[in-house]
Amino acid sequence: MKTRESNIKRILVVEDEPEISAFCWRVLTSEGFDVDIAVQGKVAQEMLEKKQYDLCLIDIRLPVLDGKELYQWLKERHPKLVNGVIFTTGDIMGGGDTQIILEQAERPLLPKPFTPNDLKAIVREALRQLEK
């Protein structure tokens, strides 16, 4: 999916930690992406209904509507965007439901903490996969 006005890719970062969302915004906008931030899943849903995105960077652990629930909603409401989901979490060792959703979704994972190069690399790879 490309934006209607240009070839600039739009990314929605769904992250409740202000430092991480600001970090993602700085890194990704410096790479030329149009980046929006949603602080939790319900806000992300509203934004996704109003604007087209190419990628969604979704934290699994979010207040109100978590990343797993948001992903399930995306599958129903915006199935084309599902292939543009990248999960983030600091809870990869916890196992349980986090590990299950990651295995079932078969989407890339960016474990926290991550570097600017980690973020840029996973976004580039996800976009490359979408263009296949």
Q: For the sheet with 10-14, list strands across it.
A: 34-38, 10-14, 55-59, 85-89, 109-111
CATH of domain 10-130: 3.40.50.2300
Lowest mean pLDDT among 21-25, 43-47, 96-100, 108-112: 96-100
**What residue type is 19 in one-letter code?**
E
Q: Tokens representing 88?
A: 């983030």
**Confidence at residue 132, expressed as pLDDT on a 0 to 100 scale:** 81
Read off the pLDDT of residues 41-89 as tens digits, 9 standing for 90 and up.
999 999 999 999 999 999 998 988 999 999 999 999 999 999 999 999 8
**Cβ–Cβ < 8 Å for 81, 14:** no
Q: State the pTM of this model.
A: 0.91
Q: Which residues pair with 56 in a beta bridge?
A: 12, 85
